[in-house]
Homo-oligomer: A and B are copies of this chain.
C-alpha cells in the first residue's frame, strides 16, 4: 500500500461527495508537503480498490486535480504530483487573493460571505496621488517622540510591571492623563474610572454596540454616514433607522418621528465634522438631542473623533459635558493625533455600562498594549501631544485653505462646497450632472485616486458627492491633485 492510500480517509455518509473528499485530501497532502512535487500517485484502479470506492470516483478526483494543476498525467508513465504547484509558495498580500489559496473547508457553515470592505479607490495610473477620505499626514506623525518613550522601556526595573497582565480598562497613568486632557480641552469632568482605553474609536463602538444592543433593537444613524459604525450595529443584530443631515447636523424632527413610532435604543452621532458631510452639530441641536434622549430614553454614542482639529472657530463642548443623566457614551481617539496606525482610543461611559464593557474587552483581547499606553500617557503629561496638535492644526488649516482656494480658482463652475470648520476633508458636490464614480474613473487614468463615493450613502452609489481629504497632501501635492481633477472633470463635460 502506498503512502497516499493510508493517508486518505473517506466517509460515504458525508454531505461532501466522495470524489471531492479524495480531491481535497490529496491537495491537503500536497500543500503540507507529505506528497512532494513529482512523486508518483497510485493508478485510479489501485487507489479505488484501496479506498473501497468505484474507480470512476477516483478518475473524477484525478480529473479535478488535473484541472486545478495539482497533478500531471503522463500516458503510459502514470500520474504524478505536478512539478510546478499552483499556489503553494507564499504570495504577496492583495485584495484579489481571497478566492484562491487554502482549500475551503467544508466543516464551517459560514453563510455570510459578504466582504464589506470594497476598495473604493481605484489606484492612479502613474503616480500614487490620493485624495483620501480624510486622514492625517503620517509624514507629520510625532514618531520620534514615541520612539523616545520606547527607549525608556529598555530599563527593566521601570518596564517590568508593564510586561505582565494589566487592567482590561487600560493603563491607569493614561486614564489619569486623559481625564485631565478631557477636562482641559472639552470641559468633561470625568474620573479615570469612567474611562476605558480602546484600540481606536472602532473598538469603543464595537464594545458599546455588543453590550447595549439585542436583535432587532432600533439604532438611529445619519445618512450619509459612517459605514464603519453602521456595520457594527448591524452585526449586533440591530435595525438601522436613517435620518438626514442638514446644515446644523442631524435632523432631529426625523429622529423624533422615529421615536414616536418605535422604541429607539441607541443613536449614533458624530458631533464635529460629521463624516462624510463635515457638518458640526449646533449647540441648540445638542441640547435638543439630549432632551429627546431623556424623553424617549435612548442612549447616545457621541463619536467626537476629530474634536482636536479646528481651524476657523472654537469647537462646541461635547453632548457628554451637558449630560447629567448618563445617556451619553463619549468616544474619541488619538489615531488622528499620532497616526491612524497607532491605535489608541477611549470610551467614557456610566459605571454600570463600564463594568460590562470591561468584561467584554477582557474576553476579546484581554487588554491593550501597555507599553504604547504608558508612552502615550507620558506624551500627554509632558505636553508633547498639546504642542503637536498646535503644530498640526496650523499646517492642516493652511492645507484646507489652499485646497478650497485651488478649487475655487479652477473648478468653481463644476463643483460646490462649504469650507469645513475643522477635520481633514471637504464635502463637495459635482455640478453639471457629473457623477462621483465617473470622475473617479477618469481621474485614475490620469494618476489621481479619488473615492468613487460608494460608501457615503447607505443605499445609493450613484450620486454627485465626494469627500476630498486635504490633510495628508502638502501644498505642491494639493496643486497637482486639483490640476488633475480639473482635467478629468473637463474631459467629462
Contacts and interface: CB of A to CB of B under 8 A. Distances in A.
A283 interface: no
A295 to B, nearest CB: 6
Interface in A13-44: 14, 21, 24-25, 28-29, 31-33
A356 interface: yes
A351 to B, nearest CB: 4
B191 A90 contact: yes
Interface string A126-145: 00000000010011010110
Contacts of A351: 98, 101-105
A324 interface: yes
A59 interface: no
A135 B147 contact: no
- Taking each of A175, A360, A363, A368, which has the highest tally of chain B beta carbons within 10 Å of its own beta carbon? A363
A366 interface: yes
| Highest count of chain B CB atoms <10 Å: which of A101, A350, A366 | A366
Interface in A351-385: 351-356, 359-360, 362-372
Contact of A25 (B108, B199, B232, B325): B325
A122 B187 CA distance: 40
A11 interface: yes
A159 B143 contact: yes
B163 A352 contact: no
* Complex copy number for this chain: 2
A202 B106 contact: no
Contacts of A261: none
Interface in A311-365: 321, 323-327, 338-343, 350-356, 359-360, 362-365
Contacts of A106: 325-326
A176 interface: yes
B325 A101 contact: no
B370 A341 contact: yes
A192 B299 contact: no
Interface stretch (A164-172, A242-250, A271-279): A164-172
Contact of A108 (B115, B165, B352): B352
A460 interface: no
Nearest to A112: B356
Contacts of A221: none
A234 B32 CA distance: 34
A343 B356 contact: no
Given A352-B110, A353-B108, A165 B340 contact: yes
A340 to B, nearest CB: 5
A417 interface: no
Which residue among A90, A192, A231 has the maximum number of chain B CB atoms within 10 Å of its CB? A90
Given A101-B191, A110-B352, A203 B325 contact: no
A286 B14 CA distance: 21
Nearest to A209: B363
A87 interface: yes
A457 interface: no
A93 interface: yes
A84 interface: no
Contacts of A156: 139, 143
Contacts of A101: 191, 193-194, 351
A355 B227 CA distance: 19
A235 B151 CA distance: 40
Given A90-B191, A102-B194, A150-B151, A107 B350 contact: yes
Nearest to A27: B324
Given A33-B189, A107-B326, A9 B164 contact: no
Contacts of A324: 7-8, 24-25, 28-29, 32
A325 B138 contact: no
Given A110-B356, A153-B143, A203-B364, A167 B326 contact: no
22 contacts: A14-B297, A31-B189, A32-B189, A89-B191, A93-B192, A97-B193, A101-B351, A102-B191, A104-B350, A105-B325, A108-B299, A108-B350, A108-B352, A112-B356, A113-B355, A135-B165, A141-B160, A143-B163, A144-B154, A163-B339, A165-B341, A202-B363
Q: Which 3 A-B pairs have the closest CB atoms?
A: A105-B326, A28-B324, A105-B350
